Amino acid sequence: MEKLLAQVSSYYTEKIERFGAQPLGVDWNGLDGQVLRFAQLCKLLPPEVPFSIADVGCGYGALLEYLLAQYEGVEYIGIDISEAMVETATRLRGQDARARFVVGTEPPHPTDYVVASGIFNVRLGTSTDAWCTYIESTLENMDRFSTRGFAFNCLTSYSDEHKKRADLHYANPGELFDLCKRRYSRNVALLHDYDLYEFTILVRK
């Protein structure tokens, strides 16, 4: 697992150093897709009730900006394995009293909600079996550190075959839905209707 995380950290560090604080800096194609992903993840959140949230794989903190524009009473903590990402996020948004950023793989303490956007996509040279073990381990942590629910997204195995890349992981949405339903909660939603080659799963406790 340590080698896997080191490879992913190096990959994203190169992206943020090359492109800076923009979607390309976290390996997304553009702003529209990034915002659309955030909108799916945030369907987990209560519209008018204050909440705390941990963002695993926070990148340069783009989700925080989205949250603060949409919700009141947000307490946010961003976690990323790339020190360069955390340094960038802290420089841009660390002065906000409602937020802080830390280097790591899991929140330092439980929060109401835990979300992860894009962290299960770039597997590089890791085998499929090892990557699936990483996903399941991360979901265990997301469950353990969330008191009210968690959400994540993945590239979908229903992607067009000729467009798939060997260095990316395309997850089976039915299998992950089943895993979350059996292991974490009776209240699980699978969102696969927002016109991107991916899906989002919401787990409500």
Nearest to 53 by CA among 196, 82, 199, 61: 61
∠ CA 64-70-74, nearest 5°, is 55
Token pair listed for 7: 């490879």
Cα Dmax for the chain: 46
Q: Dump pLDDT digits (tens) for 166-188.
A: 999 999 999 999 999 999 999 99
Domain ranges of the chain: 2-204
DSSP E strand boundaries for 25-181: 51-56, 74-80, 99-103, 111-116, 146-156, 170-171
CB atoms within 10 A of CB 7: 14
Domain 2-204 CATH class label: alpha beta
Report pLDDT digits (tens) over 136-161: 999 999 999 999 999 999 999 999 99
Cβ neighbours of residue 126 closer than 8 Å, sequence gap 6 or more: 4, 7, 134
Mean pLDDT of all residues in 129-138: 96
- Compute the distance between CA of residue 167 and CA of residue 48 in angstroms, rounded to an integer: 40
